Structure 1
Amino acid sequence: MEAIIRMSKKADAPQLKALMLEYIVDFYKSPKPADQKLDDLVAVLLEREKGLQFVAEQDGVLKGFATLYFTYSTTRADKITVMNDLYVAEDSRGTNVATGLFQACKKYTGENGYAAMLWETAQDNHRAQRFYEKMGGHKGDFLTYSI
């Protein structure tokens, strides 16, 4: 059965949080955030004012998610989306889940008047880079810094 791609809803919160923790802790090896912080983030994204999440659901089980945040670009003098996350559970990688999530983000961006969708991935995540190139993305000229 093909995964259904849709916007997240309140009932998704427990499964979505588990997937987000898998993404944060297991995949990116980042510290586990406090439960309340993750609850607050999910709540903000459910409001769909500062961002939103798409989920991939198969037989009642969430298999992946993508997060879009809404912001502006000075150089474009316009509003943009930032696809901050695109994560697929290991047992669903190599299926159409990532493509469905990516396309949902792209479609939302276009249909809601955003000038562009930007995203980033780790330099050593070559699988993701190949996927993004297959989706029509291209590497930008800017380096990402953090502090």
Structure 2
Amino acid sequence: MADTAALTLRPLRPDDRPQWAALWAGYLDFYETSVPAGVEDSTFARLLGDDPRDFSALVAEMGGQLVGLAHYLFHRNAWAVEDVCYLQDLFVAPDRRGTGIARALIEAVYGAADTAGAPGVYWLTAEDNVVARRLYDRIGTLTPFRVYERR
């Protein structure tokens, strides 16, 4: 594990757009997907918005460069009084993986959830994302549920 002493975790800012966009593109490439035109603009605006139904974003910064991102949102849950937190996107620059950045981002989302009174945090990952799953197995609990989506 590399030294993360120089790591800063902070909310996304409007002037982060170029570096955030590069990380976002890397995230989409990692999952071999793309989004329709306009989604990047909409997503960035939502991440910076004040609407509590919209997303929040944390970025990891080292030496003035963004090296990771976490997008999350809070929503109601029929099985609890408190909201829950969905960590929708987590990405670390390939040259910074294995340095503790992903763990730090997840723990920061845990902190944001606790502050918001939403102690439950969940996320999804691809079955074949074995490197990330090793971390997730240490800091989370694998559930027995499968995800389905509309055809």
Residue-by-residue CA offset, 1:120-139 (whole Å, 9 max, x unaligned): 1111111111101222x111
What CA RMSD, in Å, does the superposition of the two structures yield over aligned residues? 1.4
Aligned to 2:120: 116
Residue-by-residue CA offset, 1:27-65 (whole Å, 9 max, x unaligned): 00002432x320111111111422201000111111010
Alpha-carbon separation, structure 2, partners of 1:67 and 1:17: 13
52 and 4 in structure 1: CA distance in 2 versus 1, 3 angstrom threshold = same
Give yes or no for contact 1:65–1:87 (8 Å, CA) kept in 2. yes
Equivalent residues in 2 for 1:19-58, closer than 5 Å: 19-24=23-28, 26-34=29-37, 36-48=38-50, 49=52, 50-58=54-62
Q: Following TM superposition, where does structure 1 have runs of at least 4 consecutive aligned residues deviating by more than 3 angstroms?
A: none
Give yes or no for contact 2:82–2:117 (8 Å, CA) kept in 1. no
Structure 2: tracts of 5 or more residues without a match: none
Residue 2 of structure 1 pairs with residue 6 of structure 2: yes
The counterpart of 1:141, out of the listed 125, 144, 151, is 144
Kindly state the Cα deviation for residue 115 of structure 1 after the two structures are TM-superposed. Answer: 3.6
Aligned to 1:12: 16
Kindly state the Cα deviation for residue 68 of structure 1 after the two structures are TM-superposed. Answer: 0.5
Give 3-state SS (helix, strand or coil) of 1:43's partner.
helix
Aligned to 1:60: 64
Give yes or no for contact 1:83–1:117 (8 Å, CA) kept in 2. yes
TM-score, structure 2 normalization: 0.89
Kindly state the Cα deviation for residue 17 of structure 1 after the two structures are TM-superposed. Answer: 1.3
Structure 1: tracts of 5 or more residues without a match: none
Between Structure 1 and Structure 2, how many residues are aligned?
144
Kindly state the Cα deviation for residue 100 of structure 1 after the two structures are TM-superposed. Answer: 1.2
Structure 1 stretch 104-113 or stretch 66-75: which is displaced more? 66-75
TM-score, structure 1 normalization: 0.91
- Give identity over the alignment, percent: 33
Kindly state the Cα deviation for residue 15 of structure 1 after the two structures are TM-superposed. Answer: 0.8
